[in-house]
Amino acid sequence: MLIRTFVPRFFIKIKGVNTLVKDKSVLEMRNIHKSFPGVRALQGVDFTLCEGEIHALMGENGAGKSTLIKVLTGVYGKDEGQIFLKGTDNEVSIHSPQDAQRLGISTVYQEITLCPNLSVAENMYIGRTEGIGQNWKKMNRDADKILQSLDIPAKSTQQLASCSIAVQQMVAIARAVDMDCKVLILDEPTSSLDEQEVAKLFKLMRELKAKGVGIIFVTHFLDQVYEVCDKITVLRDGQLVGEYEIKELPRVQLVSKMLGKDLDDMSDIRSESATYDKEDASTLVFEANELVSDAGIKPFDFYIKKGEVNGFTGLLGSGRSECVRAIFGADRVLGGTVKKNGKTVKITKPLDAMKNGIAYLPEDRKVDGIVGDLSVRENIILALQVLKGFFKPFSKAETYKFAEEYIKLLGIKTASADTPIKSLSGGNQQKAILARWLLMNPEYLILDEPTRGIDVGTKVDIQKLVLKLASEGMSVTFISSETDEMLRTCSRLIVMRDRKVVGELSGDDLSQNKIMSTIAGGGRE
Amino acid sequence: MKRFKTKLLSVVLAATMVISLAACGNTGDAPASSSGSDGPIKVGIINNDPNESGYRTANDRDMHEMFTAENGYDASFAYSNDNDKQIEAAQKFVQDGVDYILLSAAGTAGWDSVLKDAQDAGIKVILFDRTIDASEDLYEASIVSDMAKEGQTAVDWLKGQNLSEYNIIHLQGVMGTAAQQGRTAAVDAAVASDGWNIVTQQTAEWNAEKAQQIVQSVIDSGESFNVIYAENDDMAKGAVAALDKANISHGVGKDVIIIGFDCNKWALEELLNQNWNYDGQCNPFQASYIDSIIKTIESGGTVAEKTVIMDEKGFDATTITAEDVEKYGI
Amino acid sequence: MQTNTQKPGIGKVGTKIFRQQIFIPIAALLLLAIFNLIRDPSFYKITFGYNNLGDPVLSGSLINILDYGSELAILAIGMTLVTAASGGQDISVGAAMAISGSVVLRVLCGTNTRPETLQAPIIVAFLVSCVVAMLFGAFNGVLVAYFKIQPMVATLILFTAGRSIAAWINNNELPIISDPSFGYWGGFIPGIPIPTPFFIAVACMIIIALVLRFTNLGLYTQAVGINESSSKLNGLNPAFIKFLSFVILGLCVAVTGFIKVSRFSTINYSVIAKDIEMDAILAVALGGNPLGGGKFNISASIIGAYVIQFLTTTLYALKVPSDALPAYKAVVVIILVVLSTPIVREWLNNLWKKMKSKQIKEVA
């Protein structure tokens, strides 16, 4: 990887079948192989993208999606296989992201890779101005023209950081489009966007599609795939499962193809688990009155019973996370009273909450959850160890016992307990963090977006686990952006709008429509 | 918040500077600024950090003792080892309208414009200890040590010992400093002319511990030597510690001759006890020279020589007296 | 992609060795050792003799390395923790050593700079200097942990002012202690032919090993250094952990400052422990610890410290011309540091594997 053999910039190989097979296709990848030490990441994968097509690339984490993308964009060199592009008669060699860009392959990543402190126009033209001089006026004018044509609500002179994440994402796309791209790769572009922003992004994608751009769309959100895509290519374990027209592949089948097994009907998971019905089921495990933190939420009341699963719902930014952070003491608590099992307690910092048997799995796994360079084992024992105290470390043997127990229990896929957690896939990282809190054996578990950005199989596992824990008497607060997940798991939903609790739904009221109308303003005020 | 932090940082920085200034101005005289030609003579003294070395400490103390109200002076002090900061201090003295600027420059370059300003403002400049690269017209006098002469005196003394052979460990100061260059030059010349043998010639950067390590490594290598020429007292002390550890005798009539420089009081005591053989003076007491030059100028006289080289002695362990230790020890 | 789910059997041992953090300092040590063996085997000669006081001493290059490397090793312990927790380095340790050394002398001498007898027991002087050095460490720690100032910037304050403070403590005088028992700590205890600083360093290593074994200092420090936000949500107090690391470094500074002033029973404010912070930081880097914080390995840092002293002693033995000395040191240091970067190690790793598979092919 490090020492790349020097290859002339315009090196093109001629060999065997050397044209595109289909008329309409802009990109064909044939029989792509790529191995890493110990892993065969891609084994003979074919992929075809047509003009004016939005093509979903699906697969669980570790299926080979990102490797395929990285081969296509020149980040990795391929071991075997051929890549053909429209407009070039022969097979193309892509040795670096610059090569890919020159050939008209552009990528927009999940994490914004632009410079937030530069202006929108500067971001669009950075690194591709010719010569030293720069006609700023012209640059801004051109940028505005493109922004307008794509209906992107940003001004060329605006600082990028002042735009919302969604607009930043769109600017990244505009930059890619303006570079005359034939193939646009969107790698998880929607994971930090709210629904309206997603809708805008989709509008933009459809416009590009109309202009004949081929779009490869990588996402975990099934809804979005069915909303915007034309075709789906499914990968599993580095192999091609198949390419399907969207109409021909119902959701359940897609999921089962991704998992490689027939899935129990996901909507049934609730009925599988028994609910907690001991006599102490009405005990209030946790209660908050007029709780308010410095994160900008309005004071709110909250309670949870023993063995109950409830949840906060609302749009992104409505204050769901801020509420649970206030409960856990993760933000600075400014006021309100808190009771644990009927007794007033003081929770001003996370350690207080932990001492009271409250656990919190944070929303942002990378930033707040994992301690990347530490091993899976250390990550799992961290919270319990902190609770136990500075002068009372667990013995190595104990930590291995704990870690291995939970690795097995939750099915965490890791080479060993000593593997750094950052080298695990997102879903397995999430499981390890979950293990961390379960190890603490909390009375009250808060899960903030535990299913975001992880594969479908793990999502189901986590939902099942939540219900199982509740049936054993644990109280759980569950937050998810995907309402159907919440409907499946929660028996009571607290609805939020504009950083304020605006309603509560339970029993028969628990439905998509009811939630939507409450969020929109139909509920209790 | 960020601004608050910045503010706080500057307050802390300011506080530490006050502390360090307090640490420097240990004699504690806060000169009141007064003007008028009949009053005391206002002098602005720019010196290096007095903690730099024992030499500098003695030099600074000497200045403080001379330029007092009793002696008819109103003195302000500025310290820095940074040439730019010193130039800033000089600019400030020019603005304050002092009568004299006394300067021991940290660097030789960059002084022309500020000294020109001083000249235009009628301020007279006297250099001490260090020279600068500027026209002689810009200052009244320069009172300096002649490092080469110090080295030569020591080497002449060593020649006078008439040893049958000279195997020398030469411990140098920080390379490129005037003291190092002057004191090294004399040895190099003698090596060339008299066929002295240099066992090792390395810099210990004025540091006793580094000197000890260098001498130890020579002892470990088994080479023989009979002279240690250390360019300051600290390094001589480090060398002696290595000899003591290996049980090699040193001093008057012993196996190894020890030569040091700077005349620290403790070093002269070593001479008195005959543990060392020779110590060369680097005279830090320039204040009286400056005083007499100022007196000359104030009484309307002219300074005869632009460059005044101070008297510097070399002490031999066989002739040094307890009075010498008291008088010349710094 | 998980790259290390299953390693092929070939080159597994080699891979493991190259991946180990401690590999680089040990490899450097071996390299220097072999170089000296080829150059002049007498480098390793250790002789037993008596010093001018008639006490037995061992001497030789290796003894010198143990002697002078020990101070650096002690500092490396604290510097490693500070680096891991705060992701930055303390550049004020040399100045802080001048302060704590000055305090030792001040307590031992009282107001007289040349006392005939000690004015206080040595242990009292040492403990006072520990307190003072920890206070200065705490000062740095507060700036870094609570005011969130970049460590290098925060410690720049003490770096600038420290030596003046040290001089001020003793009124700019140079106290000299004549009592020989004070010199034992930086020299030899009568009857024991091994330099005392080595024993002090070993004691510090044992203490830190026990601390790491019987507390969670290691886990907490690494967690905070890797992900502060996550640590906070796990009930840790990141600011306090950072603060603590600076206080521990303060303690290390006190110990090394004590050894330094004991060596010559006096002090030179401007020269004592000069540039030692750079060597201490280098020891941490040579130990393969990321200077941006996070995971650490104190043993590797300690070996790194002795490697630096090994290099210095080798250069003295080589009699490298004095003007060129820093240049030689810089070249060697650059090589060692480059070798210790993950990129190069990964490359070595691949090279090793290629060689192995080639061998196997040839055999087959």
Q: A217 pairs with which residues across the strands?
A: A56, A186
Q: In this predicted structure, what is the pLDDT of residue A20?
A: 57
For residues A216 and A306, state if they share a domain: no
Q: Given a cut of 50, is residue A10 above it in pLDDT?
A: no
| Residue B175 near residue B198 (C-beta atoms within 8 A) | no
Q: Given a cut of 80, is residue B189 above it in pLDDT?
A: yes
Q: Given a cut of 60, is residue A13 above it in pLDDT?
A: no
Which residue did the predictor score with more confidence, C360 or A174? A174
Kindly tell me the burial class for residue A230, based on how many C-beta atoms sit within 10 Å of its own C-beta (0-12, 13-18, 19 or more).
middle
Which residue did the predictor score with more confidence, B97 or A116? B97
For residues A131 and A166, state if they share a domain: yes
Q: In this predicted structure, what is the pLDDT of residue A130?
A: 58
Q: CA A262, CA A242: separation in Å to the nearest integer?
A: 16
pLDDT band per the 50, 70, 90 thresholds, residue A452:
confident
For residues A410 and A514, state if they share a domain: no
Q: Given a cut of 50, is residue B93 above it in pLDDT?
A: yes
Q: Which of C20, C210, C234 to mutate to test the interface with A (most CBs of A within 10 A)?
A: C234
For residues B159 and B127, state if they share a domain: no
Q: Under an 8 A CB cutoff, do C157 and B238 touch?
A: no
For residues B158 and B99, state if they share a domain: no
Q: Under an 8 A CB cutoff, do A350 and C215 touch?
A: no
Q: In this predicted structure, what is the pLDDT of residue A7?
A: 40
Q: Which residue of A has its CA nearest to C346?
A: A2
Q: Which residue of C has its CA nearest to B79?
A: C164
- Domain count of the fold of chain A: 4
- Average pLDDT over every residue of B34-38: 46
For residues B96 and B237, state if they share a domain: no
In a domain, A371, yes or no: yes
In a domain, B266, yes or no: yes
For residues B129 and B155, state if they share a domain: no
Q: CA A45, CA A58: separation in Å to the nearest integer?
A: 13
Contacts of C94 in chain B (CB under 8 A): none
- Average pLDDT over every residue of B306-312: 88
Of B35-39, B161-165, C22-26, C106-110, which gets the smallest average pLDDT? B35-39
In a domain, B177, yes or no: yes
Q: Which residue of C has its CA nearest to B14?
A: C157
- Joined together, the tokens standing for residue C130 give 């520990």
pLDDT band per the 50, 70, 90 thresholds, residue B24:
very low
- Joined together, the tokens standing for residue A490 give 């929660």
Please name which of C197, C194, C202 lies closest in space to residue C186, comparing C-alpha atoms.
C197
In a domain, A109, yes or no: no
Of A328-332, A509-513, C267-271, which gets the smallest average pLDDT? A509-513
Q: Under an 8 A CB cutoff, do C313 and B217 touch?
A: yes
pLDDT band per the 50, 70, 90 thresholds, residue B234:
very high
For residues A201 and A286, state if they share a domain: no
Q: Across the interface, which of C5, C6, C223 has its CB nearest the CB of A371?
A: C223
For residues B133 and B257, state if they share a domain: no
Which among B74, B106, B139 is the end of a domain? B139
In a domain, B297, yes or no: no
Contacts of C346 in chain A (CB under 8 A): 1-2
Which residue did the predictor score with more confidence, C21 or A201? A201
Residues on A contacting C at a C-beta cutoff of 8 Å: 1-3, 36-39, 41, 62, 66-67, 328, 330, 349-351, 354, 360, 362, 367-374, 378, 382-383, 385-387, 389-393, 415, 419, 423-425, 436
pLDDT band per the 50, 70, 90 thresholds, residue B21:
very low
| Residue A185 near residue A69 (C-beta atoms within 8 A) | yes
Q: CA B39, CA B36: separation in Å to the nearest integer?
A: 6
Q: Which of B62, B177, B198, B220 to mutate to test the interface with C (most CBs of C within 10 A)?
A: B220
Q: Across the interface, which of C216, C226, C236 has its CB nearest the CB of A373?
A: C226
The CA distances from residue B28 to A473, B31, B33, B227, in Å, are 75, 9, 15, 44
Q: What share of chain B is helix, strand, coil (3-state, %, to 5)?
A: 45, 20, 35
Contacts of A422 in chain C (CB under 8 A): none
Q: Under an 8 A CB cutoff, do B266 and C271 touch?
A: no
Q: Across the interface, which of B12, B54, B222 has its CB nearest the CB of C174?
A: B54
Q: CA C24, CA C300: separation in Å to the nearest integer?
A: 8
Please name which of A352, A240, A331 lies closest in space to residue A286, comparing C-alpha atoms.
A352
Residues of chain C with pLDDT under 70: 1-19, 322, 340, 360-364
For residues A270 and A151, state if they share a domain: no
Q: Under an 8 A CB cutoff, do C6 and A38 touch?
A: yes
Q: Given a cut of 80, is residue B147 above it in pLDDT?
A: yes
For residues B197 and B324, state if they share a domain: yes
Q: Under an 8 A CB cutoff, do C2 and A425 touch?
A: yes
Contacts of B168 in chain C (CB under 8 A): none
- Average pLDDT over every residue of B183-204: 93
Q: Under an 8 A CB cutoff, do A330 and C233 touch?
A: yes
In a domain, A350, yes or no: yes
Gyration radius of chain C over CA positions: 22
The CA distances from residue B321 to B54, B158, B311, B318, in Å, are 21, 20, 19, 9
- Average pLDDT over every residue of B268-284: 93
For B18, half-sphere exposure in the C-beta direction (CA atoms, 13 angstrom radius) is 6
- Average pLDDT over every residue of B150-176: 93
Q: Given a cut of 80, is residue B11 above it in pLDDT?
A: no
Q: Across the interface, which of A2, A67, A367 has its CB nearest the CB of C347?
A: A2
Q: In this predicted structure, what is the pLDDT of residue C224?
A: 96
The boundaries of the domain holding residue B50 are 11-139
The residues spanned by each domain of chain C are 62-328
For residues B172 and B230, state if they share a domain: yes
Which among B139, B158, B192 is the end of a domain? B139
Q: Answer yes or no: is the ipTM higher than 0.95.
A: no
Q: Which residue of A has its CA nearest to C6?
A: A38
pLDDT tens digits for range A347-401: 999 999 999 999 999 988 888 999 989 999 999 999 999 999 999 999 999 999 9
For residues B169 and B275, state if they share a domain: yes
Which among B139, B159, B177 is the end of a domain? B139
| Residue C316 near residue B217 (C-beta atoms within 8 A) | yes
In a domain, A119, yes or no: yes
| Residue C301 near residue C21 (C-beta atoms within 8 A) | no
The boundaries of the domain holding residue A207 are 1-104+182-263
CB contact burial B152-188 (16+ within 10 A = b; e otherwise): bbbbebbeeeeeeebbbbbbbbbeeebbbbbbbebbe
Q: Given a cut of 50, is residue A467 above it in pLDDT?
A: yes
For residues A65 and A201, state if they share a domain: yes
Contacts of A389 in chain C (CB under 8 A): 216
* Residue B247 neighbours by CB under 8 Å, 6+ apart: C49, C50, C51, C52
For residues A270 and A340, state if they share a domain: yes
Mean pLDDT of chain A: 83
What topology is assigned to C62-328 in CATH? ABC transporter involved in vitamin B12 uptake, BtuC (1.10.3470)
Q: C56 pairs with which residues across the strands?
A: C50
| Residue B170 near residue B191 (C-beta atoms within 8 A) | no
Contacts of A324 in chain C (CB under 8 A): none
pLDDT tens digits for range A95-112: 888 888 888 888 887 666
In chain A, pLDDT over 90 holds for what percent of residues?
Answer: 34
Q: Under an 8 A CB cutoff, do A372 and C343 touch?
A: no
Q: Under an 8 A CB cutoff, do C3 and A369 touch?
A: no
Quick check: do A and B touch, 3+ CB pairs under 8 A?
Answer: no
- Average pLDDT over every residue of B113-134: 90
Q: In this predicted structure, what is the pLDDT of residue B322?
A: 92
Quick check: do B and C touch, 3+ CB pairs under 8 A?
Answer: yes
CA–CA min distance C254, chain A (Å): 24
Contacts of C213 in chain A (CB under 8 A): 393
pLDDT band per the 50, 70, 90 thresholds, residue A4:
very low
Q: In this predicted structure, what is the pLDDT of residue C280?
A: 93
In a domain, A110, yes or no: no
Three-state secondary-structure class, residue B319: coil
pLDDT band per the 50, 70, 90 thresholds, residue A23:
low
Which residue did the predictor score with more confidence, B118 or A24? B118
Q: Which amino acid is at A247?
A: K
Q: Under an 8 A CB cutoff, do A371 and C220 touch?
A: no
- Average pLDDT over every residue of B22-39: 44
Q: In this predicted structure, what is the pLDDT of residue B25?
A: 39
Q: In this predicted structure, what is the pLDDT of residue A9?
A: 39
CA–CA min distance A129, chain C (Å): 32
Q: Under an 8 A CB cutoff, do B247 and C270 touch?
A: no
Q: Given a cut of 60, is residue B117 above it in pLDDT?
A: yes
In a domain, A3, yes or no: yes
Q: Across the interface, which of A38, A39, A368 has its CB nearest the CB of C230?
A: A368
CA–CA min distance B13, chain C (Å): 7
As separate numbers, helices (DSSP H) first and strands (DSSP E) second, chain A gives 17, 19
Q: Across the interface, which of B20, B220, B241 has its CB nearest the CB of C60?
A: B220
- CATH number (domain holding residue B250): 3.40.50.2300
- Average pLDDT over every residue of A52-65: 85
Please name which of B239, B231, B240 lies closest in space to residue B211, comparing C-alpha atoms.
B239
- Domain count of the fold of chain B: 2
Q: Is the pTM of this model over 0.80?
A: no
Q: Under an 8 A CB cutoff, do B175 and C322 touch?
A: yes
Q: In this predicted structure, what is the pLDDT of residue B178?
A: 82
For residues A493 and A506, state if they share a domain: yes
Contacts of A387 in chain C (CB under 8 A): 235
Contacts of B54 in chain C (CB under 8 A): 174, 268
- Average pLDDT over every residue of A499-521: 82
Q: Under an 8 A CB cutoff, do C222 and A371 touch?
A: yes
Q: Under an 8 A CB cutoff, do C2 and A382 touch?
A: no
Q: In this predicted structure, what is the pLDDT of residue B255?
A: 94
pLDDT tens digits for range A131-160: 556 678 888 888 888 888 777 888 888 888
Which residue did the predictor score with more confidence, A102 or A304? A304
Q: Which residue of A has its CA nearest to C212?
A: A393
For residues A72 and A6, state if they share a domain: yes
Q: In this predicted structure, what is the pLDDT of residue A215?
A: 93
For residues B182 and B324, state if they share a domain: yes
Q: In this predicted structure, what is the pLDDT of residue B247?
A: 92
